[in-house]
Amino acid sequence: MGRNRLVVLTPIIIIIIIYFLLLGPKLTKVVALQEKMEERIKERARLQRLNSNIKAKLKADLPVDSKVELNAKIKLSTFLVKIEKLVTNTKVKLKSLAPQAKKEEKQVVKLPIDLILEGKYSNLVQFLTQLKNLKQFVKIKNLKLIVKQNKLQTHLRLFIYAMSGERND
């Protein structure tokens, strides 16, 4: 009988030793990784809420029906193509377009662009209206109207915005 117990208990003891020596540390690592993952999920949710709050604050100046988006990146080349299309569609002459150095404030990047446009009053108004309807968040800071040689010239500084922490082109 003693020998039978030894035969039965030996594999059980070997399994317990293998568990504590090999599987125990692995299980501890798995538990630690699960806790770390839960912390990161909570941090991600917090950052997403913060992102939403920032977007809401920036959109506070916009009309309720606005379809503007605050992108993660400023795609300058895409935006300049849109400006060029607006100029063509509204029959306004683009005299000057000068992107300035981007500025980072808290979690927002803003890129100023100086424009000088020339054309009829109605065409300039149409240009500004279509600019306002773009999905990119755009804010006009300075707007000056000057009459030059029977033509109306508009000097303005636009700001396009994006979330900080991302690469901006």
For the ranges 10-24, 53-67, 139-153, the lowest mean pLDDT is seen at: 53-67
Give me the mean pLDDT over the 137-162 stretch: 83
**Contact status, residue 94 vs residue 80, Cβ threshold 8 Å:** no
Each residue of 20-67: pLDDT tens digit? 788 778 888 889 999 999 999 998 888 787 777 666 665 554 444 444
Cα radius of gyration rounded to whole Å, the chain: 31
What pLDDT, on a 0 to 100 scale, did the predictor assign at position 74?
A: 61
> 135 versus 98: which is more confidently predicted?
98
Any idea where the domains of the chain sit in the sequence?
1-66, 76-163
Maximum Cα–Cα distance across the chain:
117
Residue 154: what are its φ and ψ, rounded to 5°? -115, 125
What pLDDT, on a 0 to 100 scale, did the predictor assign at position 67?
A: 47
Each residue of 67-119: pLDDT tens digit? 444 454 566 777 788 888 888 899 988 888 888 887 877 777 788 889 899 98
Give me the mean pLDDT over the 139-155 stretch: 83
In the three-class reduction of DSSP (H, G, I as helix; E, B as strand; rest coil), residue 150 is classed as coil
Q: Which two tokens stand for residue 104?
A: 């980072």
If you classify domain 76-163 with CATH, what class do you get? alpha beta
Residue 117: what are its φ and ψ, rounded to 5°? -120, 155
- DSSP per-residue string spanning 42-107: HHHHHHHHHHHHHHHHHGGGS-TT---B--SS--HHHHHHHHHHHHHHHT-EEEEEEE---EEETT
What pLDDT, on a 0 to 100 scale, did the predictor assign at position 68?
A: 44
Residues in the chain: 169
CA distance 148 to 154: 10
